Amino acid sequence: MELFYAYEADGRTCRLDTEESTHCVRVLRHRSGDEIDVIDGLGILYHCRLIDDSPKGAEAEVLTAEENWHTHPYRLIVGCCPTKNNERFEWFVEKATELGVDTIVPLIGERSERKVYKTDRARRIALSATKQSLKARIPEIAEPVSVKEFIGKERGGRKLIAWCFEGETPRESIAEAIKGWDDITVLIGPEGDFSPEEAALALKNGYTPIHLGPSRLRTETAALTAVEAVYLGVLAREAKKD
């Protein structure tokens, strides 16, 4: 199944940007009259008929629309510190999109090796992964914020922090921590982990300490493990309802 992304869709017409138009018309050789499938990035799949096959700005007439196409039954925000090796974080963005995530927030922690992160490339990767995995909703790649700023922002749902807490701080497994929840936020630290001050602030603001198993995981592996745990846990719960 071929999917195209419309930067503008009003329910009657879908318009593709130059990159999507070039792929549709020049690479895949679609012409006016051909039927194509288009997503709006917000959860709607449009089945369309191409009416303008310009490689600089193709347009398609909407025939049918399907809302919440291949969306997931939960809301997941992952705040994760980008890795020193940018390719590792981009790998996480791609795989998390394939599984199902709503928002990825690049965090700058006190121990982060990467203090600056540009989001343009990650957003392109998220778009590509959305189409590849047959989804209609593109996850938001937010602008970077500090760990403390993210923690201080008021938000509802289940709030979790994966940190190697020392001493007697109890930690739940993520599988147990997400039971019964469908609005979840997870914090994943940098290679040097969260600082004690950041972790203490998270606890003060209602975050529950969790672990991801006995293995020591790289940042991007830990972040993806958290996404997968939510994906499998919530879907398994939904399946029991049927």
Which one, of 32, 4, 31, lies nearest residue 18 by Cα?
4
- Kindly state the average pLDDT of the residues 206-215: 92
Residue 114 near residue 96, CB atoms below 8 Å: no
The string of DSSP letters for 19-72 reads HHHHIIIIIS---TT-EEEEE-BBS-EEEEEEEE--TTS-EEEEEEEETTTT--
pTM: 0.94
The closest of 124, 123, 95, 91 to 19, measured between CA atoms, is 124
Whole-number Å distance between alpha carbons of 77 and 183: 8
Average pLDDT rounded to a whole number, residues 43-69: 97
Structural domains of the chain sorted by starting position, each given as residue range(s) with its CATH number in brackets: 3-66 (2.40.240.20), 75-241 (3.40.1280.10)
pLDDT tier for residue 167 given thresholds of 50, 70 and 90: low
**pLDDT tens digit sequence for 91-106:** 999 999 999 999 999 9
Return the pLDDT at 237: 85
pLDDT-derived band at 163 (thresholds 50, 70, 90) equals: confident
